[in-house]
Amino acid sequence: MKRIKNIFWIILAITILLNLSGCKKEDPFKDGLEPNNSRNEAYELTLGEQVDASIAKGDHDWYSFTIETGGIIDKALIEIENLTEEMELTVVLYDSQGNPFGSFTGNAGINMDISLTTKSSSYYIEIYDNNSEHEGNYKLTVTLLQANDSNEPDDTFDDAFIVSSYPSGGIAGIILSNASDDNQNGDFEFFILLVDVNKRVDFTLTPSANDIMMNYKIFWEDRSVVVEETEGTPGQILQASVGSGSGGSISRYLRVGATLGATGNGNYSISFTESDIK
C-alpha cells in the first residue's frame, strides 16, 4: 500500500509540473503586431493612428503605409515615442520597391521625429535596436502633415498657376524639396504670365529664410527655354521681367525652384507688377 501511495504522489507532481509548463508567462516583448519580421510581413499602418510595439533582442519590426496626395509633394512625420530607456533604435526607410533611401539612429531612450518628403506612393519602415542587445517598448505614429501651399497643384507645366492681373500682391508659396535643373523631381512651382501688347511684367521672388537659394527659369508658350535657370545666393531676392512687343499679347511660363538650407525652410513669396514698354 505504501508503494502505491508513493506512485500516486509522483504522478501528481508530474501532472502539476506539466500544467505549470503549459501556463508559461507570455513574452512581454512579443506584441500584437507580429509577425512583422520582414518586408513581406510588414504591418500596415493607418495614417494618424498610434500603435504600441515591442522589440525583443535581435528583433526587426517592419511596417508599411500608403500616401495618397494626387501626386502633390507633401511631408509625412514619423514619430517614435516612449522608448524603453536602454534602446537605441535604428529606423530605415524604403520605397515601394523595397529600395532603402534613408537611415536614422537615435539616442538611447530619446524620442525620434523623422520628416519624410512624399508623393503618392507606398513606403516601408524597418525598426530595430542598434545594439541588438536590448529589448523594450515604443509607440509609432505616421502622420501626413498637408504641408504644401494652397496654390497646389502647380508642380508642372500642365498645372501652372495663372497670373492674369497686376499688381498681383504677394503670392505665398512653399518649396518642400530641392528643385532645380539638377533636381528635376523636386517641388517646382509653375506660373503662367499673361502679358498684354506693349506691356512688361516684372516679378520679385523673395525667400523667407537666409539659407534658401531661390532659382527661376522662363519658357516660351511651346515650353522651350527663353531664359536659362538663374540661381541666387542664400537669402537673395531675385527680380526679372517678361515683356511683349508690338506683335501682340503673349504668355510665358515661369518655373520657380529652390535649394533648401539647413533649416529646411522653403517658404517664399512672389509678386508681379505691370508697366508700359516705352
Cis-peptide into 234, omega within 30 deg? no
pLDDT per position in the chain (278 positions), as tens? 445 445 444 444 444 444 444 444 444 566 778 889 999 999 999 999 999 999 888 899 999 999 999 889 999 999 999 888 888 999 999 999 999 999 999 998 899 999 999 988 999 999 999 887 788 999 999 999 999 999 999 999 999 999 989 999 999 999 999 999 999 999 999 999 999 999 999 999 999 999 999 999 999 999 999 999 999 999 999 999 999 877 788 999 999 999 999 999 999 999 999 999 87
CA distance 41 to 114: 23
The secondary structure of 194-229, three-state, reads EECCCEEEEEEEEECCCCCEEEEEEECCCCCEEEEE
CA distance 171 to 176: 16
pTM of the model: 0.80
Give per-residue burial for 5-23: e unless 16+ CB within 10 Å, then b.
eeeeeeeeeeeeeeeeeee
CA distance 230 to 97: 35
| Joined grid coordinates for residue 226 | 527663353
Q: Tell me the domains of the chain and their CATH numbers.
A: 39-144 (2.60.120.380), 157-276 (2.60.120.380)
Place of cell 508681379: 272
